[in-house]
Amino acid sequence: MKERGKLLNNKVVTTVMSNFGLYKALDKVGIGYEKTKVGDKYVYENMVQTGNRLGGEQSGHTIFLKYETTGDGILTSLKLMEVMLAKEKPMSELAAPVVFYPQVLKNVRVKSKPDAQNDPDVQAAVKAVADALGDTGRILVRESGTEPVIRVMVEAETDEVCEKYVDQVIDVIRGKGHLA
């Protein structure tokens, strides 16, 4: 879409849970991105507000706003086949620049989501992990919209690094007495 001038605003819309490797690949080819809350509803709302035409979730819900307002697997597969035919390359080759980072996500049942999330020691632990990861990964700590849990996710170059840092933050949440 970018090559053909069809990627309006030169941006795609993602959610905060989209893989770090996607952002690295987009940065490399000079495509911007918007991050929304989790849910294709929020992706769609952002697309309508900003005029961006392509968006989606890591779950596979891809929205081509020119054609529809929700994710459609059949349309997505047709659009991908269109690119494969035009480029005369298999999907494996076209997708090779995107290197997905390992993700570890753990849910922590808490007494109060805001209290746990806003605890200065928890915030300091999250910042320490973010600082340690630098540009080699990221940490995301967010409240579930549907359950009494805090979701702690780390993306890094290895599963071991992810596990270490997720557990480090959860240990602080536990130590501060926030577990339900």
Whether 91 and 107 map to the same domain: the answer is no
Q: What pLDDT score does 17 carry?
A: 86
Is the residue at 2 inside a domain? no
Q: Report pTM.
A: 0.77
Phi, psi of 26 (to 5 degrees): -65, -45
| Model confidence pLDDT, tens digit, residues 128-157 | 999 999 989 999 999 888 889 999 999 999
Average pLDDT, the chain: 92
- Per-residue pLDDT band for 72 (boundaries 50, 70, 90) equals confident
* Domain termination site, one of 60, 95, 130: 95
In this prediction, residue 63 carries a pLDDT of 92
Structure tokens at 50: 């900003």
Please state the rounded mean pLDDT for residues 34-46: 91
Give the per-residue pLDDT at 137.
92
Same domain, 110 and 149: yes
Q: State yes or no: pLDDT of 171 exceeds 90.
A: yes
Are 130 and 165 contained in the same domain?
yes
Mode of pairing for the β-strands spanning 149-155 and 103-109:
antiparallel
Output the pLDDT for position 3.
87
Domain of residue 153: give its range. Answer: 103-175
CATH number of the structural domain spanning residue 88: 3.40.120.10
Confidence of residue 6 (pLDDT cuts 50, 70, 90): confident
